[in-house]
Amino acid sequence: MNICLLLTTLALALALNPDIPSPETFRLIQAIPELQEKLAAALPGLDLRTLTGNAPSPCLVAVKESLNHFLHSQSALNLVKNSGLGLNELGDYKGCKDGNGKYFTLDLVVAKMGLCLPRECQQEDLDAFRERLFDILKNLYKEHDIESYKPYINFVDVEKKNSLPLTKGVYVTLVLSILCLLAGIGASIVDSWLSPSALGPRMRSALASFNLFKSAKQLFLSVNRVDPNLDVLNGVRTLAMGWVVFGHMLSMLNTAPFLNVVNILSDIQSQRKYVIYLSADLSVDVFFCFTGFLGILVATEQLRGPLLTKLKYIPLIYLHRYLRLFPVYLMAILTMLYVLPYLHDGPIYYSVRTLGQTCEEKWYYHALYINNFLRSMPCGGWTWYLANDFQMYLLVPFLVLLYQFRKLLAVLVVAVLFVASIITQVNLLIYNKDHKESPTDEWTYTNM
């Protein structure tokens, strides 16, 4: 039993009409013996066995039976017509399941293809085929490092990936979400109905923090409490956020299963109007600039008085910054880990689980805001920004104190940091170009 059976099944899918076999399909069926001979001659000895024995796997036996009874079996026909017709075509996931097939995805990172195979096929069968295929390719292309391509070619048992049991984390996340909602509703009612004299100032302040109406008003009708003239920054922030969203939206084209993704990416690289996308990474620098500018501005107002008083106030500045971000950050991580994977079921929805793949194992990196030092994709691709933002914010109080006592020295220190950041970035670009080994290495070096 050889690879020809599987390749022939894919070849049939390329010419098959979704409803009725076309004349081209019948011509292809007539050419199957010749096609098998050519493939067998080109790839001698390439077979798909189970990992534990030499007998043909039940998967291959079922595939052969489907091919032999292709014109006489509706279930065999369903396997072919529910598979993808080519790269980035996913076929009919629901139709495959309803037709007693088992749905797999050929995941090439930048492209995907749906495969509807017999129920007898297991992940081990496709993994064995993948290993054997790479063994053959390594012999055919000895001058290339074929092994380095292995992480980019995978078969995924989608039904198994999407069948997730409910864990304790799911219930904990739901309970926390309900408690937060009840706290917001309760605080809004009490704070809105009771008179200011009915509660003390601290209780009133605590209730106001959870008041949904006041929070919405501050969010959408905010006035800068440091300097009203800085309200213009809200407009800059909005434009920068739109830039971030636009950049990420087009970046998703690299992994989304669009049929014309090659044409889209070619247009992006060749047309001037997409320069705003190609430079979208600079949009994040706007927020880094805001952190430094507003952080220095606020800290200058807070760090007044004797030196000892200022030094005592610095830990409170850090604590305020930490508590300001972490509760929402925590709920976002819990949502990625315990909510998103359960919201849907589809041919590539399993990839949503990768958003929180390091959450359970490396959660303390995120709690300490040092996840940008992970040598793997952090929990959520955007969390690196929070770590970098918090780490750079640690310098703010000390730069303010230095400026208050030695202005010239403070300016010199900032200049040295500025030059050092440029040298570091250039060094990382050179290093990545010469030593990049894998996507995880690239992620680490470009975000440290």
Residue 343 is predicted with a pLDDT of 84
Mean pLDDT of 361-376: 84
Section 255-276 average pLDDT? 73
- Going by pLDDT thresholds of 50, 70 and 90, the confidence category of residue 223 is low
Confidence (pLDDT) at 393: 93
Give the pLDDT of residue 420. Answer: 92
* 183: pLDDT strictly greater than 50: yes
Does the pLDDT at position 6 exceed 70? no
Q: Is it the case that residue 71 has pLDDT exceeding 70?
A: no
In this predicted model, what pLDDT tens digit does every residue of 319-351 receive, in sequence order?
999 988 898 898 888 888 888 888 888 888 887
Among 22-36, 146-160, 228-242, 292-306, name the most confident range. Answer: 292-306
pLDDT value of position 2: 36
pLDDT surpasses 70 at 242? yes
Average pLDDT, stretch 213-219?
80
pLDDT at 442 over 90: no
- pTM equals 0.72
pLDDT of 268 higher than 90: no
Q: Which of 55-64, 89-98, 209-218 has the lowest mean pLDDT?
A: 55-64
Q: Quick one: pLDDT at residue 205? A: 80
pLDDT of residue 448: 41
pLDDT in tens, 112-158: 888 888 888 888 888 888 887 788 777 777 777 777 778 878 888 98
| 423-433 residue pLDDT tens | 988 888 887 76
* Percent of the chain topping pLDDT 70: 76
Across the chain, mean pLDDT equals: 76
Question: What is the structure's pLDDT at 174?
Answer: 92
pLDDT given for residue 70 in this prediction: 63
Three-state SS for the chain is CCHHHHHHHHHHHHHCCCCCCCHHHHHHHHCHHHHHHHHHHHCCCCCCECCCCCCECHHHHHHHHHHHCCCCCHHHHHHHHCCCCCCCECCCHHHHHHCCEEEEEEECCCCEEEEEEECCCCHHHHHHHHHHHHHHHHHHCCCCCHHHHHHHCEEEEHHHHHCCCCCHHHHHHHHHHHHHHHHHHHHHHHHHHCCHHHCCHHHHHHHHHHCHHHHHHHHHCCCCCCCHHHHHHHHHHHHHHHHHHHHHHHHHHHCCCCCCHHHHHHHHHHCHHHHHHHCHHHHHHHHHHHHHHHHHHHHHHHCCCCHHHHHHHHHHHHHHHHHHHHHHHHHHHHHHHHCHHHCCCCCCHHHHHHHHCCCCCCHHHHHCCCHHHCCCCCCCCCHHHHHHHHHHHCCHHHHHHHHHHCHHHHHHHHHHHHHHHHHHHHHHHHHHHHHCCCHHHHHHHHCC
Report the pLDDT averaged over residues 255-274: 73
Average pLDDT over residues 357-369: 81
Question: Residue 378: its pLDDT value, please?
Answer: 66
